[in-house]
Every structure is written in structure tokens, then in C-alpha cells.
Amino acid sequence: MSNHKNVLGEPLEPCSTDPLTGFTRSGDCETGPQDLGSHTVCARMTREFLALSLARGNDLVTPQPEYGFPGLKPGDRWCLCAARWQEALEAGAAPRVVLRATHERALEVVSLADLKSHAFDLS
């Protein structure tokens, strides 16, 4: 069982197993010392975000089978770098997030208030 916590202080929930996401490709947005990009924000992809990411040099759409990367489409969940999500927020293209699957380390880069304002898993 993982000791990782989400931004709500609860146990970290999985983000996606289809496509398989996470820095360690575990399905969770877990992180550690090797994850220099802090792939900690579980987000649901949108056309706007994918276009912004491509325009900024990070192609998340084109499949790269040699790396086991299927390419993303709107609706897919993916563990984003916290700084990229913040950049998208500032550009008006931040995708919605799954707070329960977003690692607490994301709070080193983004605010809980901003994440909550883009959450789709708050009741």
C-alpha cells in the first residue's frame, strides 16, 4: 500500500490505467526524487490544453509506441507536470483536475484554491 497523499491529505487515488499514466507508469501521480518535472496533477485532457502543450513544445497527441505512449485525446486522464498545469492556468487553458488523484507535492507549484476551482471530483 502506498504512503502517498493527495492534495486533500487523503490516500492518493489512481489517475488512469487506460492510458497508463504516472512518472512510474503505475497509474498514479506518485512522485519521487527522479521525477524532476513533478508529474503530480491528475488532469482530464481537453482540446485546448493539448493544443497549448503542443504549441509549447510538448506533443502529447502523437503516439510514440517505442516509449509505450499511446498519444492522448480529450477525455483521457494524465499525470501532468505541476508547472505545465500552472502555465496552462495562466494561459486560460487549464484542464479540469481530479483532486483525489493529484499528489500533495503539486502544492509546491500550484495553489489548492486554483486546483479546487478546476476540480471535477468535489462533492
CATH number at residue 50: 3.30.56.110
Cα separation, 32 vs 44, whole angstroms? 22
Confidence grade of residue 120 (pLDDT, cut at 50, 70, 90) = confident
Closest CA to 44 of 121, 108, 109: 121
Q: Which domain holds residue 93?
A: 1-122
If one counts every other C-beta atom within 10 angstroms of the C-beta of residue 42, the result is: 32
Condensed to tens digits (0 to 9), the pLDDT of residues 51-108 reads 999 999 999 999 999 888 899 999 999 999 999 999 999 999 999 999 999 999 999 9
pTM of the model: 0.94
With H, G, I as helix, E, B as strand and everything else as coil, classify residue 24.
Answer: coil
Domains: count for the chain: 1
